[in-house]
Amino acid sequence: MILTEEQRRWWFATHPEYSWSRTGQRIREHHEENRPSGLSPSQQSQLEAIQNDYVGLISDPRTALDLFPYRGFIKAPSETLKLLLRSTAQHTILNAVKRKTEGGPGKWVEVGRSRTGLEHQSKMSGQPIRERGGKYYINEYELNGVKFDDYRNGKLYEYKGPQGNLLNRDGLFYDGIEGALKLHADAVRQANAARGIPVIWKVGANQVKAFKRAVGDVRGIVIVP
């Protein structure tokens, strides 16, 4: 989603097919031909600024991407969002916004991981999976020596994939599951590294009970579906 003027300018600078040379150029020429006369210098400047901003946000009719978010999201927010998510440009725009907002006290580092569960992590965090020499790598957020799956909006995130085959009829982890036995220690380690920053564990809707029981009461850890 294009949120700021800087992101809008970045988009048009890197995607000239949507810039003045297409639809916008014809509209610019129309504005110039029909510009009212007798305007003062300040009025002329204000009019040009408004016209330039409008032209710069005209989208190419051949793409599903609505490059006029100020209008689209006000008139039809849900439909505009659907169009954005279906667009082939979604990853470019969303990642550009992410780079502008991620910041935070830690840093993004490349980490080698097993392929198991990596697809879910990548889908949730938006970080791509890279393969080199038969091994798989993904960017994770490191803070005080501890790695998290994601960081955004001032919160740290851990994404837990499906665990259905590890749950009993009561919706809890079977006794003796090694991974479940480590959850409490993992939560304590992350909470200590976060130092007051909320740590959100996103799990399956049917797994909240199991994770809460396994993790226990660890200050700073929030488990949500």
Domain check: are 114 and 22 in the same one?
Answer: no
In degrees and rounded to multiples of 5, residue 164 shows phi and psi of -50, -40
Considering only CA atoms, which of 183, 180, 182, 176 is closest in space to residue 199? 183
- Whether residues 111 and 142 share a domain: the answer is yes
Please indicate, yes or no, whether residues 188 and 120 belong to a single structural domain of this protein: yes
Q: Strand pairing of 155-159 and 221-224?
A: unpaired
**Does one domain contain both 121 and 214?**
yes
Strands 221-224 and 146-148 turn out to be unpaired
The domain tally of the chain equals 2
User: What's the predicted TM-score (pTM) here?
Assistant: 0.55
- Indicate whether 92 and 114 sit together in one domain: no
Rg of the chain in Å (alpha carbons):
24
203 in the same domain as 113: yes
Residue that is last in its domain, among 98, 125, 141: 98
Token pair 């919160």: residue: 155
Query: Could you give the percent of the chain with pLDDT greater than 90?
Result: 42
- Which of 98, 132, 153 is the last residue in one of the domains? 98
**113: pLDDT strictly greater than 70:** yes
Is 12 found in the same domain as 59?
yes
Asked if residue 61 and residue 30 are part of one domain, the reply reads yes
Residues 117 and 78 in one domain: no
Q: Residues 122-181: pLDDT tens digits?
A: 999 999 999 999 999 999 999 999 999 999 999 999 999 877 678 888 889 888 787 788
pLDDT tens by residue, 66-101: 344 445 555 566 665 666 555 444 444 445 444 444
Segment 187-225, tens digit of pLDDT: 999 999 999 999 999 999 899 999 999 999 999 999 999
Q: 199 is written with which tokens?
A: 């740590």
Per-residue pLDDT, 112:
95
Which one of 50, 75, 98 terminates a domain? 98
127/149 Cα distance (integer angstroms): 9
What is the pLDDT confidence band of residue 52, given thresholds at 50, 70 and 90?
A: low
Residues 217 and 109 in one domain: yes
**Measured distance CA(148)–CA(105) in Å, rounded:** 13
Kindly state whether residues 63 and 119 are assigned to the same domain: no
Pair (162, 77) in one structural domain: no
Strands 130-132 and 107-113: unpaired
Write out the residue range of the structural domain in which residue 187 sits. 105-224
Distances (CA, A) of 161 to 205, 207, 222: 11, 10, 16
